[in-house]
Amino acid sequence: MAKNEHLDGKKTLTSAHEDYVKAIYLLMAEGAKVNNSALANYLDVSPASTTNMVKKLADLGLVAYEPYQSITLTEAGERVALEVLRHHRLLELYLHQKLNLPWDQIHAEADRLEHVISEALEDAIADALGNPTIDPHGDPIPSKDGRVETVAGVPLSMAELDRPGRLVRVLVQDADRLNYLGTLGLYPNAIVTLLKRAPFAGPLLIDVNGDHHALAHDMAELLLVVPV
């Protein structure tokens, strides 16, 4: 569903509507309980603003919501979220692969562009990229008909010691942390081996394509690997 497409012949979607719906979808995908507080924290907005927007989304038929209860997407809301997410992740891959933008810059750029591209441009980007299924961070790109492939993997923090693994997904969007991970060579498809695991959630010693690095435990939790 493109921006400003009519939902009922009168009301239209704005970028803010789409941002909220996408955020709800992503929180639900993480298994989090989605309420006003969690949503406000995720989007870095005030709880009052979140409450007002969720009421508007309910009026548009995009969310099911009762005060002080969890927020869930309706079927229509999920369709909108997946379309926006498809735009976002296709844009990330295009900016990175075709325009050589660093992977720590593409998220912010895609956030700005995801609301304004047409369906024709979406199709052209997908064709130019060979109809990809994952973006530069390893996140799945929803298909045109709303299907999302599951990316298998376990957190690097829980990986088996001394067993090489392939990095398949980086659950990080923060530019500074992505830049740091890039300096360690921790991009999708990198070969990573967990060498030592300090107790009490201490740092890990890892091998990345033959180079040894220390990595914080909470960072390793956001890196998904599969055995080679």
Residues 31 and 143 in one domain: yes
Residues 174 and 131 in one domain: no
Contact status, residue 63 vs residue 54, Cβ threshold 8 Å: yes
Tell me, what's the pLDDT at 192?
A: 98
User: Is residue 5 scored above 50 in pLDDT?
Assistant: no
**Which residue is it, tokens 């927007």?**
53
Tell me, what's the pLDDT at 65?
A: 87
* Percent with pLDDT over 90 in the chain: 89
Residues 4 and 109 in one domain: yes
**Which residue is it, tokens 């038929």?**
61
User: Is residue 1 scored above 90 in pLDDT?
Assistant: no
Residues 129 and 174 in one domain: no
Average pLDDT on 137-165 reads: 95
What DSSP state is assigned to residue 4?
Answer: T
**Which residue is it, tokens 């692969």?**
97
pLDDT tens-place string over residues 77-125: 999 999 999 999 999 999 999 999 999 999 999 999 999 999 999 999 9
The domain spanning residue 183 has which CATH number? 2.30.30.90
Domain count, the chain: 2
Task: Tell which of 90, 121, 149 closes a domain.
Answer: 149
Strand 191-197 with 165-170, pairing: antiparallel
pLDDT tens-place string over residues 134-149: 999 999 999 999 999 9
Beta bridge partners of 150: none
Tell me, what's the pLDDT at 8?
A: 46
Domain containing 211: what range?
A: 154-227
Task: Tell which of 120, 149, 178 closes a domain.
Answer: 149
Residues 71 and 4 in one domain: yes
Residues 92 and 109 in one domain: yes
Residues 191 and 135 in one domain: no
The domain spanning residue 38 has which CATH number? 1.10.10.10
Residues 96 and 3 in one domain: yes
Task: Tell which of 84, 115, 149 closes a domain.
Answer: 149
- How confident is residue 165, by pLDDT bands cut at 50, 70 and 90? very high
- How confident is residue 7, by pLDDT bands cut at 50, 70 and 90? low
Residues 70 and 2 in one domain: yes
Residues 139 and 158 in one domain: no
User: Is residue 163 scored above 90 in pLDDT?
Assistant: yes
User: Is residue 11 scored above 80 in pLDDT?
Assistant: no
Residues 203 and 106 in one domain: no
- How confident is residue 37, by pLDDT bands cut at 50, 70 and 90? very high
- How confident is residue 32, by pLDDT bands cut at 50, 70 and 90? confident
Residues 135 and 167 in one domain: no
User: Is residue 207 scored above 90 in pLDDT?
Assistant: yes
